[in-house]
Structure 1
Amino acid sequence: MKRILLSIAVIFGTCAFAQEKKSDTAKTKNIEGVTITKQVFKKQSDRFVYDVAASPVAKGNTTFDLLKQTPLLSSTDDKTLKIAGKNNVLIYINGRKSNMDAESLAQFLKNTPAENIQKIEVITVPGSEFQVESSDGIINIVLKKKMSDGLNGNMRFSNTQSKYNASQASFSANYRKDKLGISANLSGGENIQAQTYTLRNSSDSASNESTGDINDPNKNIGGYLNIDYQLNDNSNLALSWNTWANKSYNSTVSLFNTIINKDGTNYTWSKNKEDSRSYNNSLNLNYELKTDSLGSKLNVNAAYLNYKRFQFTDNITYKSDINRNLGAKSIQMFQDLPQIINNFSGMVDYIQKFKNDLTISVGGNYNKTKTDNDTKSDTYFIDPEKAPKLAPNHFIYDENIYGFYVTAEKKFSDKFSGKIGARYEITNSLGTSDNPPTETLKRIERNYNNLLPYMSLNYAINDKNNISYSFSSRMKRPSFWEINPVVNKLTDDNYTQNNPFVKASSTYNQELTYMYKNSYFVVLNHSYIKDAITQVPLQGYPEKPNGELGENLALRYIRTNFGDKQEMSAMVGIQKSFFKQYWTTNFSIGVQHNRNNGSLDMDPTTGDRFRNEKGEFVTYINKTNSTSILIQTNNTIRLDKAKTWFFGVNFFYIDKQQIELGMLRGLSSLDLSIKKNWNDWTFAVNVNDVLRTNIVVIDDIQDNGNKNYIHQNQYPRSLTVSLTYNFGNKKLKKVRDIEGASDSIKSRTK
């Protein structure tokens, strides 16, 4: 249930000073004198660098809040991050991909104080050495270096009030003694994800409207343990364990349905309940060997990932009337949807540096994944003439991925540098089903190879002007849940349909960047996506391959490869401090042009086609273009000379734009915050979406007369009160964060 509704919302994502003790007043003045001239934001080779330690915005913020205030980064749903309003992001820590699954990583970023961050690197077009998919970008969080042994850590508590109340807490500790380093984190919380939902679809003489509330309670707990040991001056061994658990019991959907067709008007209630829980555990072993004094090194990783999700739904349809009275039960459907994912993976990288400023990198990775989906469905019709329908389906998906890469990076002069590279990936997959809805689903085998080139050039015209160009090609494989051929019902006639026939899409990215005085920047980007994976609505009276025609107008949201898509964008921005750092601003304005070119006339999983009232087959077509404006500004205002009071004003606006589901109306949000730093304590109050303007509304009108409308209010207006305490030796050296060999797989479990 949660995945059904939030999968729609996911598509819409298109848009420090540390307070010293009084006894350290002299030290504070010295730091202040240095940071006035330090470059806070600059372009380096293939990435933008935001020096958080030289900016007054870090203390009292969470890492997630800090990322939202980083130039080029944004979040429209307070759950996911985007680069330049469009690219999805992967989080790296100290140059290595975070060894946490997506859900626990989001909670980790929201629970972790930002005081330990030295800088944030934004890589809009990753090189061949990075295991990324599609147009994904990378956010690399570089932690401060601590030099002495000892113990430090932090505790954070927060409480958020939206439609419902939510609370979160976290505890982190880092310990170092000689060659041994240990870091651990434990965090958890509970909340109820609420939304008011309206879904309306209609044709010339029929319509179906569903409106009501969805409430999804969640309890989360998780953490990590990292152990790092320095074997000698040149080698390190590290072991990492990450765990996360989520419990969502009594998640409910209550929708009132108005169905108009040739036989008249019918009213029903959909009362759905879901109990689900999920567990994600990963174990990673890392070995690093420095091979010379220039920085050459060998890196070896081995990892195991286990993901389990157990989901049980009970969907009941009741008869009703125009007054919304709850009548007799008409249909009841049970679904048992367990999913188990096991992944074994390995990765080897070698970087060779030469004295002539040449760096050669070579490496490879192997991933073996088995996904087990043992779905069981029972549908009971209250009509005694209709027998229960039992629909078990055991779908197993095996996938093997082999990847190899080589890159060469050369600094030709103090002004000019370049990098070229390529990845070669081999994918072998097999999906089998013991009781599929169609014979074609019994065995689905795919084998494909891809060569993915990369190039970047960087030219520093002088000390004030810098220009760079990048090109990359990537694949995007479907998430494991997308290829599980299961139906997730919202109402009797409206549901989502996953698709095991979804194949990998290809993305080609180009980007041209100009930067002036390390404060002003222009970014031009073009992306071409072939066989884009998305969710497409098919509407009409469904006709099965045997000719059986449905009685009611139906709407199915189907995962599929929906033609090709182009995205072009231009962004102008500034990151600068004024009035002796009393006001720090990050402002950007841009324009984005989307070109869609897709069509769908058949449910690829069932073979069903859709007819209108005239008996004609219906095709969903989206060949619409749109141009949108994007505006984002983040401002931190220091209210006192002692740097203890700060006021924040953040705002974003995304103009209406054409997406696969239709025309997404404009989104915006005004967020305010105030914080007080007092020794090792930080008190903060945040108010998000003050004007209640961050609500999703989509309209779609087809040439054939079909209309679709979606209204989704997830109650983004919220008030959060937080308390952060930092303790221990602040000079502690941070434990190495290790990239897991299975990290590229984790993002596909969501």
Structure 2
Amino acid sequence: MKNFITTVALLSGIVAFAQETPKRDSASTKNIEEVIVTKKVIQKKSDRLVFDVAASPVAKGNTAFNLLKETPLVSSADDKTLKIAGKSNAVIYINGKKTQMNADGLEAFLKNTPADNIAKIEVITLPGSEFNVEATDGVINIVLKKKMTDGTSGNFRMSSTQHKYNNQASSASLNYRKGKFAASGNVSYSDVIRPQDYLLMNGKGDEYNKSEGTVEGKDRDFGGYVNLDYEINDKNTVGVNYNGWFSKSPYLHSDFFNTVVARNQQGVLETHYNRSRNFGQNKDLNNSVNLNFEHKFDDKGSKLSLNGAYLNYVKDETNSNLTEIADAGNHFLALSSKFNQSTPQNIDNYSATADFTKIFKAFTLGLGGNFNKTKTDNDTYFENWNGTTYVKDDNQSNHFVYDEKISGLYLNAEKNITEKFSAKAGARVEFTDSYGEILGTTNNVKRNYTNILPTLSLNYNINQNNSLSYAFTSRVRRPSFWEINPVRIYLTKVNYIQNNPFLKASSVYNQELMYMYKSAYFLQVSNSYTKDAITQVPLQKVDENGVRTLRYIRTNYGTQNTFSANLGMNKAFFNQIWNANYAAGLNINSYKGTVNTDPITGEKFEDFIFNNTMAAPFLQLNNNIRLSAKKDLFLGINYFWMGKQRADLGYLNPIQRLDLSLKKIWNDWTFSFDMKDLFKTMKINIYDEQETGTYNRVSQYQYSQSAVLTVAYNFGNKKVQKTRNVQGAASDIKNRTGN
């Protein structure tokens, strides 16, 4: 049922779409270590935008998550995930190494990590061939401060969030260094209730289904990590990293009152009412361990890095659905149906990577490879109530097993061609061999394919104040493992969500042109073209009982073409009293394709046609104002607005939010108070109407208006050097677990 809550949010395309636009959006986060602020706040290198923040008043006493939201081209619309302008996801690296944490663990980690530990943040909108990331991913590399002093340091943080309910979170971290040995660890706990209000409506003409209700889930999350490093000598280092996350949802509950208006056999409109309720529980366990060896060939940066990793993700989820016939006042009349559903999932992954970098006098060479072997086991059990007992439904139950092997090789070269002009070119070759099967049936899918993925980036420093860069990448967007698990998640008796084991990987081609002036102002123009794009398509038809059904099916639908222009500024005024990080722009989305078939059952539906193009403006204004000469009191004023735009599932009405924050620093203590979505304007409304007359509407509110009180304390030797942060070999696989 935890997936029920997640998928209901996703079915409208809201989360994915609202964060893909080049507004300062949200994004999945993954790693953090350091940031530095100098007078030259942002710099453009050949393939990345570098934000130096260590001396910035934005960083002092802040969290890593909030600091990332202040980074140019990075944003968070939902205050949970991070996005890079024009990208659907932000993969977090720490010191050049990808994190191993799942999404929940990473969010907690970033929100409980002091920004004071960060030296700089690198934003890579179009990752080169050396990055093993998905097609629509950008990379945020957090570079931590490096101090060689032996000793111990740490921090403790507590927060309380009040919206409809009260949520609490706390974390503690410890860093230790003695000679050649270094260790760091973190533990965090959160107790969170996530309420959501919904209005779902679909129909044609004067016949329609309308569902109004709530979805709530309570999560108790506990997780952490341990990093150990040992320097064998000046050139060789070994390390081990462990990440673990346990999430328990003691209750996951949805309650919808449904109105069904349909014609009877005589053609007369009749109105019927029913109430659908889901009761669920969920447990997630995510463990990963990574072994790393690094050899330095010289002091210039030439090195060899080897990684081996194991990842295991286990989910145990159960749901009970009860549908009752009701009257117009939602009073019980009779039982309509009852069923139970169990959707366990187990993912095992073995991975290995090798990366070699050699810095020559004239250029830098990089080459390497990776191998991933993943097995997922999804045994869905469905049973219906027959009046006296529950009976297994073989049509709804299935046991889906999926095996996948991915291997890749890459080669790239970077060269300063002249004093002002530099270039980086490379290519990645990926081999994919996968097989999925619903046991006991003839439904199976086998794929074996090779992708050659070139990349190119160029940078020209026109003079001291002006620079121009261009980048091109080609990538593959593989479905997440939850997307290919053919489970149904029921919203009402006739409305449900269905995933798809026959999803094909999408091919994505990205281009970007960026101009920078005085390292404070930038213009970014980008284009992204996707073949075999994936989304949840709302297919409708009238069943044999004359009732209009709605099935949200995750499938490939056609092509998506996105053009965006982003004008931004990151600048301090009045001797750094006022720090402004602004972005404004335009996003043009174009969708083409047609879907009318259930890929699993072969059932035919009315055509859902993608043939839309629309331009949408956006505005993001982040302000940090110092209120005291002692630099210990700060006011934050952040505003976000996005105009009406076209998502893949329909038209998304304008959204906006205003956040205020007050931060007080007292010695090693930091106190902050935040007001999120002050005017309660972050509400999602999507509407679509097809040429056939069928329409679909989704309205959603996630109680984004909230007040947050945070207390943090730093202790110990602040000069302690942290352990190396190592990119785990299984990091890309973890992202696809959806956790």
Q: CA deviation at 1:84?
A: 1.3
Matched, 1:723 2:683: no
Q: CA deviation at 1:711?
A: 0.4
Asked if 1 retains the 8 angstrom alpha-carbon contact of 2:589 and 2:614, the reply is yes
1:292 to 282, 298, 313: 298
Structure 2 CA distance for aligned equivalents of residues 495 and 371 of structure 1: 23
Indicate the SS of the match to 1:109: helix
Structure 2 CA distance for aligned equivalents of residues 351 and 250 of structure 1: 50
Matched, 1:389 2:382: no
Structure 1 CA distance for aligned equivalents of residues 721 and 343 of structure 2: 45
Partner residue in 2 for 1:402:
407
Asked if 1 retains the 8 angstrom alpha-carbon contact of 2:5 and 2:216, the reply is no
Partner residue in 2 for 1:19:
none
Partner residue in 2 for 1:432:
437
Matched, 1:266 2:287: no
Partner residue in 2 for 1:323:
329
Indicate the SS of the match to 1:115: helix
Asked if 2 retains the 8 angstrom alpha-carbon contact of 1:329 and 1:382, the reply is no
Partner residue in 2 for 1:628:
616
Partner residue in 1 for 2:667:
679
Matched, 1:338 2:344: yes
Matched, 1:592 2:595: no
Matched to 2:438, the amino acid is: S
Q: CA deviation at 1:709?
A: 0.7
Asked if 2 retains the 8 angstrom alpha-carbon contact of 1:459 and 1:468, the reply is yes
In structure 2, list runs of 5 or more residues that go unmatched.
22-35, 265-269
Matched, 1:366 2:361: no
1:578 to 573, 592, 595: 573
Asked if 1 retains the 8 angstrom alpha-carbon contact of 2:383 and 2:391, the reply is no
Q: CA deviation at 1:10?
A: 2.6
Asked if 2 retains the 8 angstrom alpha-carbon contact of 1:204 and 1:706, the reply is yes
Asked if 1 retains the 8 angstrom alpha-carbon contact of 2:86 and 2:526, the reply is no
Partner residue in 1 for 2:25:
none
Question: Which deviations, in whole Å up to 9, do the C-alpha atoms of 1:77-100 show, x marking residues without a partner?
Answer: 112211115441100001111121
Partner residue in 1 for 2:231:
230
Structure 1 CA distance for aligned equivalents of residues 628 and 737 of structure 2: 47
Asked if 1 retains the 8 angstrom alpha-carbon contact of 2:86 and 2:564, the reply is no
Partner residue in 2 for 1:4:
7
Structure 2 CA distance for aligned equivalents of residues 551 and 278 of structure 1: 40
Matched to 1:423, the amino acid is: R
Asked if 2 retains the 8 angstrom alpha-carbon contact of 1:245 and 1:280, the reply is yes
1:502–1:550 CA distance, 2 compared to 1 (3 A): farther
Partner residue in 2 for 1:608:
603
Q: CA deviation at 1:675?
A: 0.6
Question: Which deviations, in whole Å up to 9, do the C-alpha atoms of 1:565-587 show, x marking residues without a partner?
Answer: 00000111110000011000001
Matched to 1:568, the amino acid is: F
Partner residue in 2 for 1:670:
658
* Amino-acid identity (%): 48
Question: Which deviations, in whole Å up to 9, do the C-alpha atoms of 1:544-576 show, x marking residues without a partner?
Answer: xxxxx3531111111101100000001111100
Asked if 2 retains the 8 angstrom alpha-carbon contact of 1:288 and 1:297, the reply is yes
Structure 2 CA distance for aligned equivalents of residues 281 and 383 of structure 1: 41
Question: Which deviations, in whole Å up to 9, do the C-alpha atoms of 1:651-675 show, x marking residues without a partner?
Answer: 1111111111100111111000001
Asked if 2 retains the 8 angstrom alpha-carbon contact of 1:188 and 1:220, the reply is yes
Partner residue in 2 for 1:75:
76
Indicate the SS of the match to 1:323: coil
Matched to 2:311, the amino acid is: L
Asked if 2 retains the 8 angstrom alpha-carbon contact of 1:205 and 1:262, the reply is no
Q: Matches of residues 174-573 of structure 1 in structure 2 within 5 Å?
A: 174-263=175-264, 264-356=270-362, 358-382=363-387, 389-390=393-394, 391-436=396-441, 439=442, 441=443, 443-542=444-543, 549=544, 551-573=546-568
Indicate the SS of the match to 1:425: strand
Partner residue in 1 for 2:28:
none
Partner residue in 2 for 1:648:
636
Number of equivalences = 712
Structure 1 CA distance for aligned equivalents of residues 313 and 731 of structure 2: 13
Asked if 1 retains the 8 angstrom alpha-carbon contact of 2:263 and 2:546, the reply is no
Q: CA deviation at 1:387?
A: 7.6
Structure 2 CA distance for aligned equivalents of residues 432 and 249 of structure 1: 32
Structure 2 CA distance for aligned equivalents of residues 675 and 292 of structure 1: 44
Matched to 1:144, the amino acid is: K
Q: CA deviation at 1:64?
A: 1.0
Structure 1 CA distance for aligned equivalents of residues 439 and 127 of structure 2: 41
Indicate the SS of the match to 2:682: coil
Matched to 2:155, the amino acid is: N
Structure 1 CA distance for aligned equivalents of residues 693 and 496 of structure 2: 21
After superposing the two structures, state which structure 1 stretch, 281-290 or 533-542, moved more.
Answer: 533-542
Asked if 2 retains the 8 angstrom alpha-carbon contact of 1:198 and 1:712, the reply is yes
Question: Which deviations, in whole Å up to 9, do the C-alpha atoms of 1:113-167 show, x marking residues without a partner?
Answer: 2111111110001000000111210001111111200000100000000111000
Matched to 1:187, the amino acid is: S
Matched to 1:600, the amino acid is: V
Question: Which deviations, in whole Å up to 9, do the C-alpha atoms of 1:193-252 show, x marking residues without a partner?
Answer: 001111000112421000011111100000000000001000100000000011112211
Question: Which deviations, in whole Å up to 9, do the C-alpha atoms of 1:163-184 show, x marking residues without a partner?
Answer: 1100000000000000000000
Question: Which deviations, in whole Å up to 9, do the C-alpha atoms of 1:321-352 show, x marking residues without a partner?
Answer: 01111232210111110000000000001111
Asked if 1 retains the 8 angstrom alpha-carbon contact of 2:614 and 2:646, the reply is yes
Indicate the SS of the match to 1:318: strand
Structure 2 CA distance for aligned equivalents of residues 38 and 44 of structure 1: 17
Q: CA deviation at 1:425?
A: 0.3
Structure 2 CA distance for aligned equivalents of residues 510 and 135 of structure 1: 12
Structure 2 CA distance for aligned equivalents of residues 550 and 150 of structure 1: 73
Asked if 2 retains the 8 angstrom alpha-carbon contact of 1:13 and 1:77, the reply is no
Asked if 2 retains the 8 angstrom alpha-carbon contact of 1:392 and 1:435, the reply is no
Alignment RMSD: 1.5
TM-score normalised by L of structure 2:
0.95
Matched to 2:658, the amino acid is: L
TM-score normalised by L of structure 1:
0.93
Matched to 2:393, the amino acid is: K
Q: CA deviation at 1:388?
A: 6.4
1:434–1:550 CA distance, 2 compared to 1 (3 A): farther
